[in-house]
DNA sequence: ATTGAAAGAGTCTCAGT
DNA sequence: ACTGAGACTCTTTCAAT
């Protein structure tokens, strides 16, 4: 059985605020949400203990770092039983930042992040095509990220 | 002209470490990278000023929060000139957490995050299909996230 | 540029409500 | 549960190198 989720409005507010920016003091976040800094602290501690909150991550503008090219790859497998073996191989390619096993046309969906088109070409042609079990791939290069945001929890 | 990127090994190490976990003190990160905490501080300040580092975000396990259903949607537009208008409409749907304008089969690629299949059905059927300019969509439901990680910068 | 130390700010704990 | 205050830790600044 799945554990009962029992969050109140304050928990959701804290999560939504801090998913956006974690760089706010408990005192200030408390002021914003009309409780004390101590209460914010207790709630975050609870969420950490529950495994809901898993620390913080630096928010880096990878585009500004020169990682300009994002592509999505639809992957057709020869047989779906090859899934585990193919995941293992794909994991070795550092440019692949995300991989999902999906319903629909493709067996899997990968996201690739590269510095330029020639690096993308290398990954697609020299690395992906070598993997046994991949029948073929379809590439969708992102020309623009229209938006990216967090889901709003609790409503 | 694009500004010249001039990062040294230490900058890259700091970024790679803190993209994974930002929850480390400057003193401890300094020890790990064989410099003083003060130097870490100066570098991070520089990266913030440059706009490379844009604060920190809380790392939340959304699956554990009940957001179990992730789907990718390939969107066909009637005319590509409708792009801006359609983006504007898609932005109004909070379940859509990411939207990219892409080459290939589809005009756009969306990522949706929902609590359950019935919420996904609602978004796909009642919200997406109402938007003028969308010819049709293809849905890929994620059955499993095989992995997700950061790109490793600087090598 | 890097360091180490002092000042300032934030986190964490806990007794009281 | 929530609060406020004290103890502790981390960030930030800065003079020296």
Cβ–Cβ contact B117 with A under 8 A: no
Q: Do A101 and B138 touch (CB under 8 A)?
A: no
The residues of chain B that CATH labels 1.10.10.10 are 2-49
A39 touches strand D (CB under 7 A): yes
Q: Do B146 and A100 touch (CB under 8 A)?
A: yes
The residues of chain B that CATH labels 3.30.70.920 are 69-141
Average pLDDT, chain B: 96
Q: Do B52 and A58 touch (CB under 8 A)?
A: no
Cβ–Cβ contact B42 with A under 8 A: no
A–B: how many Cβ contacts below 8 A? 206
Chain B residues with CB under 8 Å of A68 CB are: none
Smallest Cβ–Cβ distance between A143 and the set B50, B103, B138 belongs to B103
Asked if A87 and A99 touch (Cβ cutoff 8 Å), the reply is yes
% of chain A with per-residue pLDDT over 70: 97
Smallest Cβ–Cβ distance between A59 and the set B21, B57, B70 belongs to B57
Q: What DSSP letter does each residue of chain A carry, written as one string?
A: -PPPP---HHHHHHHHHHHH---S-HHHHHHHHTS-HHHHHHHHHHHHHHTSEEEEEEEE-TTTTT--EEEEEEEEES-GGGHHHHHHHHHT-TTEEEEEEESSS-SEEEEEEESSHHHHHIIIIIIGGGSTTEEEEEEEEEEEEEEE----TT-
Q: Do B151 and A109 touch (CB under 8 A)?
A: no
pTM of the entire predicted model = 0.95
Query: In CATH, what class is B69-141?
Result: alpha beta
Tens of pLDDT, residues A83-121: 999 999 999 999 999 999 999 999 999 999 999 999 999
Tens of pLDDT, residues A38-97: 999 999 999 999 999 999 999 999 999 999 999 999 999 999 999 999 999 999 999 999
- Is the CATH number 1.10.10.10 carried by domain A2-49? yes
**CA distance readout (Å), A139 to A57, A133, B56:** 29, 18, 31
């Amino acid at each position: 059985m799945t554990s009962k989720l029992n969050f109140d409005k304050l928990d959701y507010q804290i999560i939504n605020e801090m998913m956006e920016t974690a760089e706010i003091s408990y005192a200030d976040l408390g002021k914003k949400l009309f409780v004390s800094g101590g209460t914010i602290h207790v709630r975050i501690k609870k969420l950490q203990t529950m495994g809901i909150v898993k620390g913080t991550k630096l928010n880096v503008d990878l585009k500004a770092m020169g990682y300009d090219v994002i592509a999505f790859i639809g992957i057709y497998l020869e047989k779906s039983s090859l899934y585990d073996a193919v995941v293992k191989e794909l994991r070795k390619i550092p440019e692949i930042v995300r991989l999902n096993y999906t319903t629909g046309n493709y067996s899997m969906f990968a996201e690739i992040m590269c510095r330029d088109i020639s690096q993308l070409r290398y990954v697609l042609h020299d690395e992906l095509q070598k993997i046994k079990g991949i029948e073929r791939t379809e590439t969708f290069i992102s020309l623009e990220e229209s938006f990216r945001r967090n889901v709003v929890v609790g409503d």
